[in-house]
Structure 1
Amino acid sequence: MFIKQIINKRLKQLTEEDLLYYSKQYGFNITQQEASDILMYIQQHDINPFVAKKREIMLRELAQITSISTAKKANVLFMELIQSYGLDHLLED
């Protein structure tokens, strides 16, 4: 639970530059506007990307705000970050 809280806090502290950097690091691009829209959503909502159903809702809402493509990119980025830090075990069905 503690690790999840740290990660959620870090998500709330992300900047556009962070998202742009991570997207390039993990092999895809998002625009500055897409990064801004993703951050706005993250900061305005109580998200729990570790629970599959809540992540699905988050991605559906993000797709409405930005685009389906951007929501998919956000999901890929989140999953890549979780896997790269060896935190797969925190994901819940």
Structure 2
Amino acid sequence: MSTFIKQLVTKKLRKLSPDELLHYAHQYHFSITKKQANEITAYLRQNPIEPFDPAYRDKMFKDLARITDQETSNKAQTLFQEIIKSYGLEGYFK
């Protein structure tokens, strides 16, 4: 796997601002509050980020459900898979 791509994705997740997250939530029809956006971005900054590892992703989506709710977590997981597929990156996210 390309170290460059891993670093790029990880850096983007760590640098995501609450306002950016709220923008994406609106764009992709998610309902999150400003407080939840702050909690999610804080989580991304404070915890190890390894989106290429299936076990880590499972933990991340469980934690997201704890911060928001199960429906939002499920939508995020579906969107994540759609984005991976649309960019042809399935091989990186096994």
Structure with higher Rg: it is 2
- TM bucket (normalised to shorter chain) is 0.7 to 0.9
Give structure 2 stretches of 5+ with no counterpart: none
Alignment counterpart, residue 12 of structure 1, candidates 11, 14, 33: 14
Deviation at 1:57, TM superposition (A): 1.3
Count residues in correspondence. 92
Q: Is the 8 A contact 1:22 1:77 kept in 2?
A: no
Change (3 A) 1:79 1:4: same
Q: Aligned equivalents of 1:59 and 1:49: distance in 2? A: 10
Report the TM-score when normalising by structure 1. Answer: 0.77
Unpaired runs of 5+ residues, structure 1, are none
Cα RMSD (Å) of the superposition? 2.1
Runs of 4+ in 1 over 2 A off after TM superposition: 61-89
Q: TM-score by structure 2 length? A: 0.76
Q: Identity over aligned residues, as a percent?
A: 42
